[in-house]
């Protein structure tokens, strides 16, 4: 089943007098449960693509379908609801709340949505990500790798269908990066999530089921591994 699909997707930015074609006609299909790495040089359009897939920004033209629903035409309020229900975001900067402990950080999005955490599911995530002994710690008391594992747990806590990760290991050393992406993969398999991860690290990209290459806003090749 195709869970993510883009058709003739374009995104242009106006930069003063010049127009930047950040995405220049992207056709993409991603299967439910797939783990896809998006690679390409700086400025090639990777973040823009992720933003379009996650409804963080609207395309200039073309379509984005998520789980059979077209999101490219949704209004801002509808997009917010869509994101909260369907998408878990993981960014390079961990964006944890410094005054909340690890457990509070993980369940924060659930609470902000006015819901109670599914304790069994949340504990399962915590266990899988190896965070059980850190739940009472503040983010400042954790290593970078641990902080990113908390950010992943937080992204997964809302039971998203899709996890979008933008250079999730950009601030981590290479060994920790391998561990974190390995865990991302394991959680995706265990909890049935589709993962799209931007990375400029070819070694990390090899952990994915498929690599999509972007060059100048276009897909230049996809490799099934």
- Which residues contribute to the site for ligand ADP (CB under 6 A)? 13, 15, 20, 22, 40, 42-48, 56, 89, 91-93, 95, 166-167, 170
Q: Give the nearest distance from C-beta 132 to ligand ADP in angstroms.
A: 25
Q: Give the nearest distance from C-beta 50 to ligand ADP in angstroms.
A: 8
Nearer to ligand ADP, 44 or 177 (CB): 44
- The Cα 98–Cα 96 span in angstroms is 6
DSSP 114-156: T----HHHHHHHHHHTT-GGGTTS-GGGS-HHHHHHHHHHHHH
Q: Give the nearest distance from C-beta 168 to ligand ADP in angstroms.
A: 8
Backbone phi and psi for residue 142, each to the nearest 5 degrees, phi listed first: -115, 155
| Selection from 4, 83, 87 nearest residue 38 by Cα | 4
- The Cα 131–Cα 198 span in angstroms is 24
Nearer to ligand ADP, 33 or 170 (CB): 170
Nearer to ligand ADP, 39 or 126 (CB): 39
Q: Give the nearest distance from C-beta 15 to ligand ADP in angstroms.
A: 5
- Identify whether the C-beta of residue 96 lies closer than 8 Å to the C-beta of residue 151: yes
Q: Give the nearest distance from C-beta 161 to ligand ADP in angstroms.
A: 18
Nearer to ligand ADP, 51 or 134 (CB): 51
Nearer to ligand ADP, 33 or 62 (CB): 62
38-72 b/e with 16+ CB inside 10 Å = b? Answer: bbbeeebbbbbbbbbbbbbebbeebbbbbbeeebb
């Amino acid at each position: 089943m195709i869970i993510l699909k883009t058709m003739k997707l374009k995104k242009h930015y106006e930069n003063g007098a010049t127009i930047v074609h950040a995405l220049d006609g992207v056709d993409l299909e991603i299967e439910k449960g797939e783990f896809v790495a998006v690679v390409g040089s700086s400025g090639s359009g990777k973040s823009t693509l992720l933003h379009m897939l996650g409804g963080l920004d609207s395309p200039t033209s073309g379509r984005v379908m998520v789980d059979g629903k077209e999101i490219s035409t949704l209004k801002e309020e509808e997009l917010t609801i869509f994101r909260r229900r369907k998408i878990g975001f993981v960014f390079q900067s961990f964006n944890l709340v410094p005054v909340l402990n690890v457990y509070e950080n993980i369940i924060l999005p659930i609470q902000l949505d006015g819901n109670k955490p599914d304790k069994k599911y949340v504990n399962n995530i915590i266990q899988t990500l190896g965070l059980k002994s850190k739940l009472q710690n503040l983010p400042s008391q954790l290593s970078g790798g641990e902080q990113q594992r908390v950010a992943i747990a937080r992204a997964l806590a809302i039971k998203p269908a899709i996890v979008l990760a933008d250079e999730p290991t950009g601030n981590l050393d290479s060994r920790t990066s391998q561990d974190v992406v390995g865990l991302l993969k394991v959680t995706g398999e265990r909890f049935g999530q589709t993962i799209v991860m931007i990375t400029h690290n070819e070694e990390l990209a090899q952990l994915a089921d498929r690599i999509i290459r972007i060059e100048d806003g276009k897909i230049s090749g996809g490799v099934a591994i």
